[in-house]
Amino acid sequence: MTSEMVDVELLTAAAAQLGCEVKLNATVKFFSGTAHGTVIQLAGWRYPIVVNSDGKVSYDNYEGRWGDIARLTELKQQYSAQAIMRQVRLSGGRLVHTSTEKVNNKIVLTIIDRG
């Protein structure tokens, strides 16, 4: 499942799952300009990323020298996992157990629904 990260609640939950600092409605100045939106400091990144209201992600990782793109991929995966869990709840399911684990750099989400 691929997701555009447009829902701030899900984005904040995904960032929290990864232990990332989040600032809402903030502006970051990059070398090539500025970006405004949800600001997330990814682990090991010199500068934060910014996700605007359209889901566009702005960042400056200097071609990997200032931050491993794998951390951004993890955030996107966590966002998708949060979206799936929300959809289960909204469809009337009752989540009894959820877990995530990394397998081949992908998240495996296990949901036991006793709804």
Q: Spell out the domain ranges in the chain.
A: 8-113
Structure-model confidence comparison of residues 49 and 110, the more confident one: 49
Question: What does the pLDDT average to over 59-77?
Answer: 93
**How high does pLDDT run on average in the chain?**
86
- Judge whether 11 and 17 are in contact, CB under 8 Å: no
Confidence of residue 32 (pLDDT cuts 50, 70, 90): confident
Strands, E, within the chain: which ranges? 21-30, 33-41, 49-51, 57-58, 95-103, 106-113
Looking at residue 27, what is its pLDDT? 97
